[in-house]
Amino acid sequence: MTTAAMPPQASPVQQTAFAVILSISLCHMLNDIMQSLLSAIYPLLKEDFALSYRQIGLLTLCFQVTASLLQPAVGIFTDRKPLPKSLPVGMGSTFCGLILLAFAPSYPLLLLGAAFIGIGSAIFHPEASRVARMASGGRFGLAQSLFQVGGNFGSSIGPLLAAFIVVPLGRPSVAAFCLIAALGMIILNTVSRWYAGALTEARGRKPADKTLPLPRDRIVMALVVLAFLTFSKNIYTASISSYYTFYLIETFGLTTQQSQMMLFLYLAAVATGTIAGGPIGDRFGPLAVIWFSILGVLPFTLALPYANLFWTGALSVVIGLIIASAFPAIVVFAQELLPGRVGMVAGIFFGFAFGMGGIAAAVLGVMADSYGIAMVYRICAWLPILGLLTIFLPSHRKLRLG
C-alpha cells in the first residue's frame, strides 16, 4: 500500500466518524496516563534510588528521545505501508515498560523501562493521528484536538493516580496500570479493524494529491519555523512536567501529594486548551491560533517565577490553557504544507515534541543541579518570545491558493 492509496483530502460534507475519533482519543488517554506515570513517580524514584536531578533528566531523555528517533521513521514507513495492527503492538510495548518501572532493581533497568514506553509512543502516535484524520470528515482541527486532548487528559490524570495510588502503595503498584494497557490493546484491536476497512475502501478512490502548495524552499522555511515554535513550547512544558513538583516542594514546602495536585491543575488546563485550539483553528485558521498561543503566553511565563503560591497555581493554569492550543494548529498547518504525508508529519512533530522535551529535561536537570530550580523557570520564561517567528509563516490564503 502506498500513500497514493490513501483517501484524498476529505470534504466537509463527508461524515465525521466520531465513534472512531473518540475511541482513538480514549486510547490516547490510556497511553498517556501510563506515560505520565514515569514523571509522576520521579519523587519516589529519586528517593528509592538516590537519584540526582541529572539522572531524573536522563530518564526523561531516554523515554522521549527513544520516541523522537523512532516516530518519524514509523510515520514515513506507514505513509507507504499503513500498519493497522501496529496500534495494539505499540500499547504492548508500554505494558512491558510499566512492568520494568514497577520492579526494576537498578537504575539501568529503569532506563530500559522508560525506553519501552518511548517505543510504544513512537508506534502509537503516527498511526493513531492518521486514523483521526481519516475519520475527520474534513474537520481536521476538531479531529486533531479530540485526538490530542485524550493524551492531555491522560497526562493530567496520571499524577493524580500516582498521588493516591502509587505514593501510598509504593512503586510495585505501578504494575496495576498494566490493566489499562490491556484495555487499550483491546480497543485498539477494534479500531485497527475499522482502519483496515477504511484502507480497503480507499483503494478504489482517486489518489491523494501530493502536490506541494508552495515552492519547496518556502515549505522548508515554514517547517523550520514550525519546528522552532514546537521547540519553544515543548521546552517550557518539559520544565513543568519534569520539575514543577520539585519546584513547589522546594519553594513553598508542599508535600508530594500537594505538589502533584498542583501539577494536575496545570495538566487539566493543558487538556482544556487543546480542546479549544482545534475548533478555533478550523474557524479562524491555524495561523491565528499559533500567534496567540506561543507569543500570547509570554507575560504569564515571565510572571510565574516571582509569584506566591496562589498566583503560581493561577498562572500555571492560564499558561496551560494558552500554550496547549498551539500544537493541534501546528500539526494541521504542517499537514497542509505537506499534503498526503500525514504519517510523516505526525511522526516528525510528535517525535520532535518528545525529543525536544527529552533533551530539554536533561539540560534543565543539569541547570537545576547547578543553579537551582528557580533559575530554570526564570530562564525558560523567555522561551515564548520565539513566537515572533510566526511572522515568517505563509498566510492561510497563500497556502490555499498556492
Is 231 in contact with 130 (CB distance < 8 Å)?
no
pLDDT in tens, 312-358: 999 999 998 898 887 778 877 887 888 777 777 777 776 766 666 66
The predicted pLDDT at position 3 comes to: 35
At 206, is the pLDDT very low, low, confident or very high (cuts 50, 70, 90)? Answer: low
pLDDT(172) > 70: yes
How far apart are alpha carbons 173 and 163 in whole angstroms? 12
Confirm if 107 and 55 have CB atoms less than 8 A apart.
Answer: yes
Tens-place pLDDT, residues 104-141: 999 999 999 999 998 998 888 888 888 888 888 777 77
What's residue 244's pLDDT?
86
Q: Which domain holds residue 254?
A: 3-401
Given a cut of 50, whether residue 12 has pLDDT beyond it is no
Q: Is the pLDDT of residue 362 over 90?
A: no
pLDDT by residue (tens digit) across 79-108?
788 888 889 999 999 999 999 998 999 999
How high does pLDDT run on average in the chain?
81
Phi, psi of 355 (to 5 degrees): -65, -45
User: In the numeric block, which cell numbers belong to residue 224?
Assistant: 523550520
Question: Distance between CA 51 and CA 4 in Å, rounded?
Answer: 50
Higher pLDDT: 257 or 297? It is 297
Q: What percent of the chain has pLDDT over 70?
A: 89
The average pLDDT across 12-21 equals 68
Say which CATH number the domain at 191 has. Answer: 1.20.1250.20
CB of 121 within 8 A of CB of 112? Answer: no
pLDDT of 11 > 60? The answer is no
pLDDT of the residue at 380: 87
Task: Give residue 1's pLDDT.
Answer: 35
In angstroms, how far is the first alpha carbon of the chain from the final one? Answer: 28
Question: How many structural domains is the chain composed of?
Answer: 1
For 240, 242, 261, 367, the CA distances from 164, given in Å and listed in that order, are 20, 19, 10, 30
Of the listed ranges 151-155, 307-311, 332-336, the least confidently predicted one is: 151-155
Q: 147 pLDDT band (50/70/90 cuts)?
A: confident
* pTM over cut 0.75: no
- In angstroms, rounded to a whole number, what is the distance separating the alpha carbons of residues 25 and 19? 10
pLDDT at 8 over 80: no
